[in-house]
Structure 1
Amino acid sequence: MGRLDGKVAIVTGASSGMGEAITKLFAKEGATVLAIARRKEKLQHVIDEVTKKGGKAVALAGDVANEADVKNAVKTAVEQYGKLDIVVNNAGALDKVAPVADLDDETWRNVFAVNVDGPMYMFRAAIPEMLKNPGDAEGLNKGAFVTVSSIGGTHGGHTGAAYTASKHANLGLAKNVGYMYAKKGIRSNIIAPGYVATEMVDLSRTTQSHAEGMEIVSAGVGANPRMGKAEEIAELALFLASDESSLVNGVVVAADAGWSAY
């Protein structure tokens, strides 16, 4: 038996990196996964790999910053598979590591649209459907959220102002959901990764960044014991999404090899 047998899950930002790894692992463990990403061709490649191995997954091209796309994902889960058990808020947007005095409005709004508005739209759309689930004998375990935040959401100096503020916000939102709906059988937990070897991290190194901002945040990188792997984050997401973590709610789990302990 898989650890997610019979579960229906939505995973955002699923076309690469942590979202891709989570999609593949959840499907391997028996979940039906609705995978969302803006890059349709890359997303379909992920789905093809899942289905070739006997997993169940479907691609939904969409942008979490667009509330209509989020509502469509939840609607599709319920109409095609009868329910929604799990949501992984993984989609994320980077900034250019600019300090606040040099931050432009467009970057601020774009980063918040994906990192904060997107999870909020998903919580708002998914919770009413999860509340319809029967849960266990005590009426618990009706639904589980896993929000992939960042140690940028627990610390102030790991990246730019927009990303840092947005990750503090989505972390706080996810914790609030966990407490507000705890007695109704819904859990909400947060993963705060450090540096993980993903396409997004590679992009941050090659995209034009704020020179002074990069110099400042890079000073702390030497304290990072090692780079993480997307598959390691997926294993943690699996635990938090499964009924094995039924008593775990509203917590932030740092997955950074001990970097934040420095």
Structure 2
Amino acid sequence: MREVKVKVRGQLFLEMKTTEMIGRRRFEGKVAIVTASTQGIGLAIAERLGIEGASVVISSRKQKNVDEAVEKLKKKGIQVLGVVCHVSNAQQRKDFIRKTVEKYGKIDVVVSNAAVNPTVDPLLQTQESILDKLWETNVKATVLLLQEAAPHLQKGSSVVLISSIAGFHPQSTMAMYGVTKTALLGLTKALAAEMAPDTRVNCVAPGFVPTHFAAYITKDEVVRKAAEDQTLLQRLGTREDMAAATAFLASDDASYITGENLVVAGGIPSRL
């Protein structure tokens, strides 16, 4: 195994390359769809599932982003289909599922990762249109996408929702975003009950991960250090941390786990 040295708060820790860590192909012969998966956590999840043998279907609102991500994954030897899909667009949701089934004939894994956070306004100053956008994209779209996907899910299939540590502790600058992520914790429970016994439904709640979506964490060193200090492990999470947790819940290794919310946040307190 080749080691990659990463400096965190003046200390070195060893992070094994994802492709070199994985010795098993838990998703061989399976088809996985991942929303909002051309960058950040979504792309890392798609890559992890693909490296483990899945045929992955990725999506983004922009064709350019889809094309670039498809090329990245293909270069890693991953079987991938890219589809433009804004999860709040009914026709694009239908096309996303239709194109998946036309190419692969089934769906085994659904990872609902798409989310927006268009405001930092206090809740009582947030425009109704923004409240609607947050709810429709972060919560409602997951239900509507699963309505389209459900007829094609195989026995033993798995759904993983991507929530956030903000769902347990909504911050003042992103309060409604946090509330929508809280809703996903409950949605996980409700869907798990409804889709059992043939389909398991679980949720990953990431902590602070320096992605483009969460650039506010890393662009200011003071903010970054404050985020690190909230964790017991004294570091931010990585995309690979989130992908590994998602792959576990989606795999048969978690075959007796459903309706659960897995916090992957380095020890940040996470109880409502």
Indicate whether the TM-score tops 0.5.
yes
TM-score normalised by L of structure 1: 0.85
Work out whether 1:62 is the aligned partner of 2:76.
no
Letter in 1 for 2:230: A
Q: In structure 2, do the counterparts of structure 1 residues 158 and 18 end up closer, same or farther at CA, with 3 Å as the change threshold? A: farther
TM-score normalised by L of structure 2: 0.82
Separation (CA, whole Å) in 1 of partners of 2:172 and 2:199: 31
Question: Paired residue for 2:100?
Answer: 77
Letter in 1 for 2:244: E
Question: Paired residue for 2:182?
Answer: 168
CA deviation vs aligned residue, 1:189-223 (integer Å, no higher than 9, x gap): 000111111110016888xxxxxxxx9xx988742
Secondary structure of the structure 2 residue equivalent to 1:85: strand
Work out whether 1:126 is the aligned partner of 2:152.
no
Q: In structure 2, do the counterparts of structure 1 residues 220 and 48 end up closer, same or farther at CA, with 3 Å as the change threshold? A: closer
CA contact (8 A) 2:37 2:43 kept: yes
CA contact (8 A) 2:97 2:149 kept: yes
Q: In structure 2, do the counterparts of structure 1 residues 51 and 220 end up closer, same or farther at CA, with 3 Å as the change threshold? A: closer
CA deviation vs aligned residue, 1:98-131 (integer Å, no higher than 9, x gap): 221211122212211210122111121112221x
Question: Paired residue for 1:145?
Answer: 159
Separation (CA, whole Å) in 2 of partners of 1:102 and 1:10: 36
Alignment partner of 1:248 out of 236, 251, 257: 257
Question: Paired residue for 2:15?
Answer: none
CA contact (8 A) 1:93 1:111 kept: yes
Structure 1 gaps of 5+ residues are 136-140, 207-214
Q: Percent identity of the aligned residues?
A: 31
Alignment partner of 2:200 out of 187, 203, 210: 187
**Stretch deviating more after TM superposition (76-85 or 250-259):** 76-85
CA contact (8 A) 2:263 2:270 kept: no
Separation (CA, whole Å) in 1 of partners of 2:250 and 2:172: 27
- The alignment of Structure 1 onto Structure 2 pairs a total of residues equal to 242
Letter in 1 for 2:206: P
The CA deviation at 1:159 is: 4.8
The CA deviation at 1:157 is: 3.3
Structure 2 gaps of 5+ residues are 1-23
Separation (CA, whole Å) in 1 of partners of 2:114 and 2:130: 16
CA deviation vs aligned residue, 1:69-103 (integer Å, no higher than 9, x gap): 11211122222111011000011111423221211
CA RMSD of aligned residues (A): 2.2
Letter in 1 for 2:55: T
Q: In structure 2, do the counterparts of structure 1 residues 171 and 68 end up closer, same or farther at CA, with 3 Å as the change threshold? A: farther
CA contact (8 A) 2:210 2:218 kept: no
Question: Paired residue for 2:75?
Answer: 52
Separation (CA, whole Å) in 1 of partners of 2:258 and 2:35: 20
CA contact (8 A) 1:116 1:170 kept: yes
Separation (CA, whole Å) in 2 of partners of 1:221 and 1:2: 33
